[in-house]
Structure 1
Amino acid sequence: MPTPADRPLLDANPLPDGLPSRLVEQLTFLAEVDKLKTVLRQSPLAAAPRRENDAEHSWHLALMVTVLAEYANEPIDVGHTVELVVVHDLVEIYAGDTPLYDDEGRLTQEQREREAADALFGLLPDDQARRLRAWWDEFEARATPEARFAKAMDRLQPLLLNWLAKGGTWRTPGVTADTVRSRKACVGEASAELGAVARTLIDEGERRGWVEPGHHNPDPVAG
C-alpha cells in the first residue's frame, strides 16, 4: 500500500525541464492519483468475478449522482456533488480502503485519512490544494445538501453491488441485516425515496438468506 512517505510516481520519470512550475505540480498530482486504480475495495463487481477498485467506485458514484439527483430530499448542485464524489476516496491512495464492516480499522481511519489528505492534496498548487481539501472536508462533515447526497450515493452503490452478488460483503462474519441498516442509514437521510428502496433490498436480502437476520427496525433507514 502506498504511504504519504512514498515518492510521487513522476519522481521516477520526471517531466522535461522548462515546464511551468504550476503545471508540473498539477501533473504530478494527476499522475499520483493513478494509484487510485490499484486500491481494491471489498465490493464485488456485478459484471466480472473480481473486486472493484476505488477509481471504478468513484466513476460509478459520479454517474449515480447525475442520474439520481432528482431524488434528493434537498435541492443540490449536481456538478459540485460530482466534484465531491470524485475527490472523496483519493486519500485511500495512502490511507488504504477501510471496509464498512471493519470495526477495528475504523478506529484509526480518521487519522490515517487526514494525514493522507495533507500529503496528497499538498502536491497541488496552493489554491487548488485548498479547494480540493475543502471538498474532501465537506464530504466528510456532511454539512451541506451536496455532501449528504454524495455520502448517500457512496453507501447506495455497494448496496446495489451486494444485491447483484446475492450478499457480497453482507456475508462478512458478524454482520447482520441490522448492521447493514445501521451503517447505511445516511441513504434515507439524504433521500427518502432511495432510502425506502434500499430498505426493501435489505429486507428482501435478509428474507432470501443473503445476510444474517436481525431485528427489523421500523424507521425508514437505508442499508
Structure 2
Amino acid sequence: MTPEKLLRQIDFIKEIDKLKYIQRKTKLFNSDRCENDAEHSWHLALMAMVLFEYADESVDLLKVIKMVLIHDIVEIDAGDTFIYDTQKAHTNTEDERMAAHRIFGLLPKSQAEEFITIWEEFEAGETPEARFARAMDRLEPLLQNSSNNGGTWNEPGVNYTKVYAKKSAIKAGSKVIWRYAENLIDAGVKKGILKKE
C-alpha cells in the first residue's frame, strides 16, 4: 500500500505541472516566444547558483533556490500580473495568499508549512535570501528585454522611470549587479528601445 504522505507529495507534483502553462509577458532571449513561469523559475535558480557570490550579504544558497523555484507557483491560481500593469498591482494579493495555502496545502503538513513560510519570506523581501532572490527575479526580464529590442518595454505606458523604479529592487540584493542593471537600462535609452519619458 502506498503511504498517504507519498500520495500527497505526488498530488502536489502533478499540480505544479500547471506552472508550465502560465505564460509571462517577457520573451526568451532573442526570441518571439514568451516564456512560461516554470522556465522563469528554473532560470532564476541557475542564475542564483551562478551569481550568488555577488550578494551583498552572506546568503543560504539552498534557501534562495527554494524561493525562486516556488515564488510563482501561486500564479497557477492567481495568474501572472505584468510588472508594469496599471490596473492591478504587482504585489502580494489575497488571491496569491489563498493560492499558496491551497497549492502548498496539498503537501503533508510540515512541507506545506515550510513552503508557505519560504513563499511569505520571499514576498516580504526582508531577509538577505529574499533580497537576493528578488534581485534575480528583477534581473532576468531586464536581460530578456535588452536582448529583444525592448520587449515589454514597448508596452503602452512603460518608460525609463517605471523600469528604473521596478528594477531598483536589485540594489537591495546586490550593488554589483545593480550597477550592471543600471548600465543596461541606460543602454536601452541610448539605443532607443526604452523611452526616457
TM range (shorter): over 0.9
State the Cα deviation string for residues 84-115 of structure 1 (Å, max 9, x = none).
Answer: 10010100011100010012122785111111
Structure 2 counterpart of 1:75, from 34, 51, 58: 58
TM-score, structure 2 length as denominator?
0.97
The residue that corresponds to 1:128 in the other structure is 111
The residue that corresponds to 1:63 in the other structure is 46
Residues 156-167 of structure 1: matches in 2 within 5 Å? 156-167=139-150
Give the secondary-structure state (helix, strand or coil) at the position aligned to 2:24.
strand
The residue that corresponds to 1:155 in the other structure is 138
Distance (Å, rounded) in 1 between the aligned partners of 2:70 and 2:129: 13
Distance (Å, rounded) in 1 between the aligned partners of 2:93 and 2:15: 21
- Structure scoring higher RCO (CA < 8 A, sep ≥ 6) equals 2
State the Cα deviation string for residues 184-208 of structure 1 (Å, max 9, x = none).
Answer: 1110121111101100000110111
Give the secondary-structure state (helix, strand or coil) at the position aligned to 1:101.
coil
Query: By how many angstroms is 1:32 displaced?
Result: 0.4
Q: Do the aligned partners of residues 210 and 107 (structure 1) sit closer, same or farther apart at CA in structure 2, a change above 3 Å counting? A: closer
The residue that corresponds to 1:142 in the other structure is 125
The residue that corresponds to 1:28 in the other structure is 11
RMSD value over aligned CA atoms?
1.2
Distance (Å, rounded) in 2 between the aligned partners of 1:48 and 1:210: 16
The residue that corresponds to 2:175 in the other structure is 192
Aligned partners of 2:92 and 2:123 also within 8 Å:
no
State the Cα deviation string for residues 51-97 of structure 1 (Å, max 9, x = none).
Answer: 00000000000000000001111111111110110010100011100
Unaligned runs of 5+ in 2: none
AA in 2 matched with 1:45: L
- Deviating beyond 3 angstroms after TM superposition, the runs of 4 or more aligned structure 1 residues are none
AA in 2 matched with 1:184: K
Aligned partners of 1:98 and 1:109 also within 8 Å:
no
State the Cα deviation string for residues 133-185 of structure 1 (Å, max 9, x = none).
Answer: 00000100112100100000000000000000010111110111111000111
Give the secondary-structure state (helix, strand or coil) at the position aligned to 2:93.
helix
The residue that corresponds to 2:188 in the other structure is 205
Count residues in correspondence: 197
Identity of aligned residues (%): 47
Distance (Å, rounded) in 1 between the aligned partners of 2:30 and 2:143: 12
Q: Tell me which structure has the larger Cα radius of gyration.
A: 1
Distance (Å, rounded) in 1 between the aligned partners of 2:144 and 2:64: 21
